Amino acid sequence: MANNEESRGLKSVLLDWFANRRKSGSIIQERQEREIADGLWHKCPECSVLTYTKDLRANQMVCVECGHHNRVDSDERIRQLTDPNTWKPMDEHLRPSDPLQFRDRKPYIDRLREMHEKVGLMEAVQTGLAQINGFPFALGVMDFRFIGASMGSVVGEKLTRLIEEATQRRYPVVIICTSGGARMQEGMLSLMQMAKISAALQNHREAKLLYIPVLTNPTTGGVTASFAMLGDIILAEPKATIGFAGRRVIEQTLREKLPDDFQTAEDVLKHGFVDEILPRTQLKQTLTQLIALHQPPALTTTHNLVMWETRHLSSTIVES
């Protein structure tokens, strides 16, 4: 009898202990979830390891455990790549005019306003001049938060103006690419941007100046089909999705399953469309080295003289 009571007592003590443990376990879990929601901690979508957000940012949003490259917004990217206090933004206030009066689930103009309120940008790309370890360069950074960084007329115009400015100043151009493709709300006007940017890049190339696109996750559609693939040196981030049409569309058209690594940076590198896959933590240093190696030759006195003579002679011809 006594033995039975003793064992019942022991059982209830153990049950209490387990209940308390479960309770404190759930409290800890709740606290962790709250802290993740507050942005204090970050849970890696690849390896599920929790990292202090401050540590993750110090490692440029690359998981210290598994090397997963988390998406970064354009402000963060500009901070990572430019020297402090050197960023001079261009055309910040340019905004689309909605010439087609497009409406899907909601009017395009409302969607643009909502995006501006949410993201704080007028459009899906930031462009500007800055320095990278002391070297001046022109930088364009696409921002996936803004309608999937789709390329509308303003994205095209801002990038074209950036490239033209760089050609005039004889600066190298770096564009951090990410995009879901052309912006369907602007129809044909959006597709025209591919040709416009490509033409500006051709002029930049003819002036013997450097252009490096960096392909980040995901770079697809009209962006891949134009300036993302026109670099002198094309860099990509590990495991970034790089392609033209979406995987599902191709699978449905071909009616066959595509390999797992299809449209990854690694697969694209294998087929020669990308020159190097670089971890983000090495990007600034590598870009600096490439820019330093490809400094344009200084315009010589002879060159200036020839330029002056050409201008002078041609103006004489027009005048006479």
DSSP 231-272: -SS-EE-TT-BB-SS-HHHHHHHHTSPPPTTTTBHHHHHHTT
Cβ pair 131, 91 in contact under 8 A: no
DSSP 100-130: T--BSSSBHHHHHHHHHHHHS-SSSEEEEEE
55 binds Zn ion per the rule CB under 5 A? no
Q: What is the dihedral of CA 167, 279, 121, 98, to 10 degrees?
A: 70
The CB-of-238 to Zn ion minimum distance in angstroms stands at 12
Cβ pair 236, 269 in contact under 8 A: yes
The CB-of-52 to Zn ion minimum distance in angstroms stands at 13
- Burial environment of residue 230 by CB neighbours within 10 A (0 to 12, 13 to 18, 19 or more): middle
Candidates 61-69, 136-144, 202-210, 283-291: pick the segment binding Zn ion (CB under 5 A). Answer: 61-69
> According to CB under 5 A, which one of 16, 65, 114, 309 is a site residue for Zn ion?
65
64 binds Zn ion per the rule CB under 5 A? no
Q: What is the dihedral of CA 274, 280, 283, 284, to 10 degrees?
A: 160
The CB-of-64 to Zn ion minimum distance in angstroms stands at 8
Three-state secondary structure string covering 19-48: HHHHHHHHHHHHHHHHHHHHCCEEECCCCC
The site for Zn ion, by CB under 5 A, has a size of 7
66 binds Zn ion per the rule CB under 5 A? yes
61 binds Zn ion per the rule CB under 5 A? no
68 binds Zn ion per the rule CB under 5 A? yes
Number of Cβ within a 10 Å radius of residue 273 = 17
Q: 33 vs 46, which CB is nearer to Zn ion? A: 46
Q: 45 vs 84, which CB is nearer to Zn ion? A: 45
309 binds Zn ion per the rule CB under 5 A? no
Candidates 55-63, 190-198, 202-210, 233-241: pick the segment binding Zn ion (CB under 5 A). Answer: 55-63
> According to CB under 5 A, which one of 33, 46, 55, 261 is a site residue for Zn ion?
46
Q: 63 vs 129, which CB is nearer to Zn ion? A: 63
47 binds Zn ion per the rule CB under 5 A? yes
41: tokens are 């901690």
Candidates 42-50, 113-121, 165-173, 271-279: pick the segment binding Zn ion (CB under 5 A). Answer: 42-50
Side-chain half-sphere exposure of 130, counting CA atoms within 13 A: 26
The CB-of-142 to Zn ion minimum distance in angstroms stands at 24
Cβ pair 184, 143 in contact under 8 A: no
The rounded distance, in Å, linking the Cα atoms of 136 and 91 is: 18
> According to CB under 5 A, which one of 44, 94, 192, 269 is a site residue for Zn ion?
44
Q: 46 vs 92, which CB is nearer to Zn ion? A: 46
Candidates 47-55, 94-102, 176-184, 274-282: pick the segment binding Zn ion (CB under 5 A). Answer: 47-55
Q: 44 vs 250, which CB is nearer to Zn ion? A: 44
Candidates 54-62, 68-76, 104-112, 171-179: pick the segment binding Zn ion (CB under 5 A). Answer: 68-76
> According to CB under 5 A, which one of 56, 61, 62, 63 is a site residue for Zn ion?
63
Three-state secondary structure string covering 176-191: EEEECCECHHHHHHHH
Task: List interacting residues with Zn ion (CB under 5 A).
Answer: 44, 46-47, 63, 65-66, 68
